[in-house]
Each structure stands twice: as structure tokens, then as C-alpha cells.
């Protein structure tokens, strides 16, 4: 695995936020590497910087120092438009809350990121249905989010997150809003999809049972990414 080009690299990354009296340091010289096909669990207490790390990895924030590389490409000096383009094509996001668009059906929600990228409508519809079928919510394709259960909503959100066939999937507590049985079922579907598609995934979770089902675990300590 170490011979392969990493999908994601954080090299000496610093990130701090301005507070009233002094900067609040979140990351300090942080290094992290995610290889093709890996599923890595990010397990750390609240307030230690999990969301910040995911935002940096997802090109939603820029580091104060250091470098973020995606597929070997340094992203620190990219323009906002270039970063947006990379997010659309190479990065998928799944959050604790599904954030599905309420006025659209499950199928339309999964089509949406493809249409934004310029994919033909019929192609987008076909791929969306294929992903919903894979996530076992195909029969619910015509339903709006309010008509779906919590587990169904999250499975639709996962399908949407991989709709553009990204290289990297970032998930922030993707099962944190679900009961234990549904959480396990949704994670199994997520894991199966990641493996089937050959994605790399960094998944923040408080659920140690779910973390144990991934390839390895990391945590945050004193601004560094370390093995858990």
C-alpha cells in the first residue's frame, strides 16, 4: 500500500482560529496520509479538531501553514474556483444530518451533484437509481426526504456523496444520529459501497464498534494526528 500514490496527504499542517485573547490552536504540524482503498476511522473527543481536519481535507478551509495534497496535487495555491472543481470531481461528503433537499425526491437528490457537474440528465438519473438500488433504497426513489426513515435518509445521503465517483469520501459522524441497530446497518451499507467503488474514506465517529470495522484508527492529540 505504501508504494501507491496517496489519495490524501496533510503535510505539517497548522490551523488556528482567532480568539479574544490569543489564537486557538487546533492543528500544529499535523501529518496524515490516506492511501487508495483505505477506510480510516477518526476517533477523538469533541472539540479536538475533527471537523477542522475534515474541512481541510475537503478543501473547505485552507491551512495556516503546511500543505494539503489531493491525488498528489498541492491544493494550497489553487483558486477558489479550482478548489470547488476538485471538490465536485474528487471529493464526496456525508454528514451526521442528511442535508437532503426537502423539495426533491431521493432520486433527484442523488442526481443533483451530477447535474451541477454537467452530467447528462439521463446518465445522472441512471446512475442515481443504480446507487439507490445498491443502498437498498431503490423502491423509495420517488419519495421526498420527509417520507423516508432516518436510516433511509442517510443511505440516500451516502449515495449522493458518491454520485460523482470521487476518489475521496469524507464522513463526519455519518451514523451519529441513528439508533444502534440502524447505525450498524447504515455503516455496513456505507462500507460495502466504499469497498465496491474502490474509494478511500476518512470517517469521523464516536462509535468504537464501527471504528473497529475499519482498516485503522487515528486520533488527534496536541494538534497532531496520531494512531489510536
For the chain, the domains span 36-62+77-227
Q: Residues 42-61: what's their mean pLDDT?
A: 89
When pLDDT is cut at 50, 70 and 90, the band that residue 179 belongs to is confident
| 214 close to 203: Cβ distance less than 8 angstroms | yes
Confidence of residue 47 (pLDDT cuts 50, 70, 90): confident
Q: 36-62+77-227 domain in CATH 3.40.50.300?
A: yes
Question: For 188-203, what is the mean pLDDT?
Answer: 88
- pLDDT at site 143: 97
Rounded to whole angstroms, how far apart are CA atoms 170 and 52? 12
- What is the pLDDT averaged over residues 194-218? 91
pLDDT above 90 (res 176): no
pTM of the model: 0.88
C-alpha closest to that of 86 among 29, 7, 16 = 7
> Cβ(67)–Cβ(31) under 8 Å?
no
Q: How many residues does the chain have?
A: 228
C-alpha cell at 57: 481535507
| Whole-number pLDDT of residue 196 | 85
| Beta strand pairing call for 200-204 and 168-172 | parallel
Mean pLDDT of 21-45: 91
Q: How far is CA 151 from CA 48, 133, 201, in A?
A: 28, 15, 20
Q: What average pLDDT score do residues 148-176 get? A: 90
Identify the residue with better confidence: 161 or 77: 161
Amino acid at each position: 500500500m505504501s508504494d501507491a500514490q496517496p489519495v490524501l496527504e496533510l503535510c505539517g499542517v497548522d490551523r488556528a482560529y482567532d480568539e479574544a485573547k490569543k489564537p486557538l490552536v487546533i492543528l500544529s504540524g499535523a501529518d496524515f496520509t490516506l492511501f487508495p482503498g483505505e477506510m480510516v476511522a477518526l476517533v477523538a473527543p469533541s472539540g479536538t479538531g475533527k471537523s477542522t481536519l475534515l474541512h481541510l481535507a475537503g478543501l473547505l478551509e485552507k491551512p495556516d501553514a503546511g500543505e494539503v495534497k489531493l491525488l498528489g496535487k498541492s491544493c494550497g495555491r489553487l483558486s477558489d474556483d479550482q478548489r470547488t472543481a476538485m471538490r465536485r470531481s474528487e471529493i464526496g461528503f456525508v454528514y451526521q444530518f442528511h442535508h437532503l433537499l426537502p423539495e426533491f425526491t431521493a432520486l433527484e437528490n442523488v442526481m443533483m451533484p451530477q447535474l451541477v457537474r454537467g452530467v447528462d440528465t439521463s446518465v445522472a438519473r441512471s446512475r442515481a437509481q443504480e446507487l439507490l438500488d445498491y443502498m437498498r433504497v431503490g423502491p423509495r426513489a420517488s419519495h421526498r426526504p420527509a417520507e423516508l426513515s432516518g436510516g433511509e435518509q442517510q443511505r440516500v445521503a451516502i449515495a449522493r456523496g458518491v454520485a460523482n465517483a470521487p476518489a475521496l469520501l469524507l464522513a463526519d459522524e455519518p451514523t451519529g444520529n441513528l439508533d444502534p441497530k440502524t447505525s450498524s446497518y447504515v455503516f455496513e451499507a456505507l462500507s460495502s459501497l466504499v469497498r465496491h467503488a474502490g474509494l478511500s474514506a476518512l470517517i469521523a465517529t464516536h462509535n468504537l464498534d464501527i471504528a473497529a470495522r475499519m482498516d485503522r484508527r487515528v486520533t488527534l492529540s496536541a494538534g497532531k494526528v496520531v494512531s489510536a
